[in-house]
Amino acid sequence: MSQRKVEITLNLRDAYKAPKWRRAKRALRIIKTKAARIVKAETVKISEEVSKYIYSYSVEKVPRKISLVIEKTEEGEAWVRLRGEEAGQ
């Protein structure tokens, strides 16, 4: 049972400030830091589907925006998944 559930659309334009070969990695780091700040969690776990979605565009061309669902559990960790993805933790 989740303590808090938030549906958001994150803008990943800051990932384009990184060199081309680091954009996907930076996009995942942006998602992690913003999710931690939004739900005030200490640990953030990103689902494999989110990672595959970011890398599906290639390392150099990450999506500009992404729709996510962030759930905070009772243990204080946050799970980030794509909107519409099943919650199979």
Quickly count: other Cβ atoms within 10 Å of residue 8's Cβ: 15
Domains within the chain, CATH numbers bracketed: 4-82 (3.10.440.10)
35: Cβ–Cβ under 8 A, 6 or more apart, which residues?
41, 44, 68, 70, 78, 80
What pTM was computed for the model?
0.87
pLDDT digits (tens, 9 = 90+) for 31-89: 999 999 999 998 999 999 999 999 998 899 999 999 999 999 888 899 999 988 776 65
